[in-house]
Structure 1
């Protein structure tokens, strides 16, 4: 009996339980729906990368005698039409736990059911699906550390092999070309696809033992850069965890913790879907904030006069990615030095990040803004100058992304003369003064 495999955030053939289930029923139609509700807001980085990832998946299918059928429009209508076109009685997906994904899938499931077609959910984008790790009383965890312990104790299934000898189906009409949008001028994106993910992971595994020591240094290539591959499901976290389980280094343990953070934020958003846009701690919505203006634009374009902040914001616009330590620094600067609400920064990141993942982005921002899951939040205000000096001591990161500072004596705290000579702006705020102001505003909601 024919089946339909609806690819979403699982653009791979290996370790794809939903695809294995689909192939067990008979011939398979591989389908991707270009959903206007997701395509429009995606931003230039993710649109360009998604097109490349779809082309890679299509190439893998063609090597096996198939091809990826791509359609554009409302998923409820397009998935139903595709299933009917090939006579499929089951549509297979990996479960989506995001706010939009859940609503979309419920609508698609209803439309399919009316036509006698079943929507089958198998697996998810996570080693442990959101909602599976709970306290003894069944309530969700609010704090990362106990969640991560319960998550590790829960465990996860081992990776599964790609299904062999699949009979692939394709749509004869109603399809569209795989999009190939031009990235914004100067934007350089990583190589997309399942094979690229495997190569990147293999390269990182050769250096994972140093991860604990190097991950906070943005001037080094000390991180895995796997976030984009996880975002599009070109690799499953189960695969990474299986490889990490064979290593006993502190670096491997630290990296596993980073995967747990990704799953924690997905769990938090799964239980509190409104926090994609609203405060996890609602009292912070009452705190005084400034209206976004010219300073927000300075922040977006990397011209704040604080080198590590400007380096991070320029890196974002250049490669669609920012080092995690720098993400925290620039987020703290926007919320606590410029007093702009976190949603403005999160929205800008989601526009430009190639690895823009809603749970990780929104709750990473809320963590740094002090209104999220951190147990001791708001009084942590990153000093951008000392953070730069501590984590980029040689100044390599700043010199790369703020090239006008390449030959100054101190790229993290250039003198007024150096700034004037190379055309780099003075700081747009006094950090010490704005830190005091941020804490004073926090006091207004503690009373």
Structure 2
């Protein structure tokens, strides 16, 4: 390891941590040097899978971060193994500091960058991660990973997490980049995205903590209410750290606070699963499902993507996705079940569509939640769980307000009747499949691979 002095500058390479508060890697960098170059690399390997909404939100977050840094964010574009080394050498940096990336691509990329830096005697320093507990650290007593959420939750809670890091923009002297392209203009999109950046994330969190936490346990399953935190895009890009949220919930025994801690743990559980089983980003967790029979109906997939299935709660969800780059979590489960178990299409088609349009598209949460719905994930026997889109709509959108908001053809249908086929106006499509029949088809197919 090279000798790092307080006079030698270092690089802080931002990735999924686009903030300056509660930033463990920034705190560690400040211990090594008072001179820090803030760097972000536009990596095509990460930009290509995401769609325009995610790209637009990213650029907005980078603009906000640059403002916090007094215009001293260095932007590079290209292979990180080349660009990070170039930036570090330009300023004579002794080290590059990062928050650990635990995803499959991130781990491979970081190994390559660390190796390239070592050739120039530049240290690679990982501190913290986008999670309260870094994936891989919570294991069974025998060292094996957890496969089921509930015991993971108990172990995760017992493990605990660090207090938020006391960091901010004035902690170090930010090095002015020698040259840096401007942050790209966001692509033109029709989706109405949330305000980007750390300040917006903190404001959203504090507003929810003041007014939403009390009823969160009941309201979070109701798409017709503003009952969720809406923090998922900010957590995805690291505009707020889950440790900040958990610290504010410390000692809070209200039902809503307990539910929110559990939801945060679900995010960490799936990141842990992906850490141990990186192939599940593309492949079935349960290998029996490699023999599952799927259909190949591109027209059916297109109608699902566009929200023209004839099932109101499904169509409302798919249209919300297009309109906002986000979808209510309960509805995500309903539309996913419809794709896999009513249309008999493979889960990875839906997962890819979600990742293209979701501002909060997170590889671990997205892929493994899709597998949970499809039945091939970590749950013991979820293939028996086939969501009925009509009864789901009646239960969680009982007055039809959510459906009417996103499906204008149905705005003339009052109350709960909006979910019933007999009340459809002529300009709204008939149900494209019979749910009861397709449910039986799914169960028969599942039975062939699980018996």
CA–CA separation in structure 2 for the residues paired with 1:119 and 1:444: 50
- How far the C-alpha of 1:52 sits from its partner, in A, is 0.0
SS at match of 1:6: strand
Structure 2 counterpart of 1:317, from 322, 341, 348: 322
CA–CA separation in structure 1 for the residues paired with 2:242 and 2:387: 31
Structure 2 counterparts to residues 185-224 of structure 1, below 5 A: 186-206=190-210, 207-224=212-229
Structure 2 counterpart of 1:433, from 424, 432, 437: 437
Per the alignment, residue 44 of structure 2 pairs with: 36
Tell me whether 301-310 or 155-164 shows the greater mean CA deviation.
155-164
Per the alignment, residue 3 of structure 1 pairs with: 10
Indicate yes or no: 2:20 matched with 1:23.
no
- How far the C-alpha of 1:182 sits from its partner, in A, is 2.4
Per the alignment, residue 228 of structure 1 pairs with: 233
Per the alignment, residue 359 of structure 1 pairs with: 364
SS at match of 2:152: helix
CA–CA separation in structure 2 for the residues paired with 1:345 and 1:165: 43
- How far the C-alpha of 1:446 sits from its partner, in A, is 2.3
CA contact (8 A) 1:126 1:263 kept: yes
SS at match of 2:38: strand
Tell me whether 111-120 or 33-42 shows the greater mean CA deviation.
33-42
CA–CA separation in structure 2 for the residues paired with 1:146 and 1:326: 26
SS at match of 1:378: helix
Q: Deviations over 1:57-106 (max 9, x none)?
A: 001111xxx51010111000000000000010100000000000000000
- How far the C-alpha of 1:40 sits from its partner, in A, is 1.8
CA–CA separation in structure 1 for the residues paired with 2:366 and 2:318: 15
CA–CA separation in structure 1 for the residues paired with 2:358 and 2:263: 18
- Count of equivalent residues: 439
CA–CA separation in structure 2 for the residues paired with 1:162 and 1:118: 22
SS at match of 1:29: strand
- How far the C-alpha of 1:414 sits from its partner, in A, is 3.7
CA–CA separation in structure 2 for the residues paired with 1:342 and 1:40: 20
Per the alignment, residue 12 of structure 1 pairs with: 19
SS at match of 1:120: strand
Per the alignment, residue 243 of structure 1 pairs with: 248
Structure 2 counterpart of 1:303, from 303, 308, 312: 308
Q: Structure 1 residue runs of 4+, over 3 Å off?
A: none
CA contact (8 A) 2:81 2:116 kept: yes
Structure 2 counterpart of 1:289, from 285, 294, 304: 294
Q: Deviations over 1:371-409 (max 9, x none)?
A: 101122101000000000000001010000111101114
Per the alignment, residue 169 of structure 1 pairs with: 175
Structure 2 counterparts to residues 56-95 of structure 1, below 5 A: 56-62=64-70, 67-95=72-100
CA–CA separation in structure 2 for the residues paired with 1:218 and 1:165: 41
CA–CA separation in structure 1 for the residues paired with 2:101 and 2:297: 33
- What is the TM-score when the length of structure 2 is the normalising length? 0.96
SS at match of 2:383: coil
Unaligned runs of 5+ in 1: none
CA contact (8 A) 1:419 1:426 kept: no
- How far the C-alpha of 1:170 sits from its partner, in A, is 2.3
- How far the C-alpha of 1:53 sits from its partner, in A, is 0.2
Per the alignment, residue 419 of structure 1 pairs with: 425
CA–CA separation in structure 2 for the residues paired with 1:337 and 1:267: 30
CA RMSD of aligned residues (A): 1.0
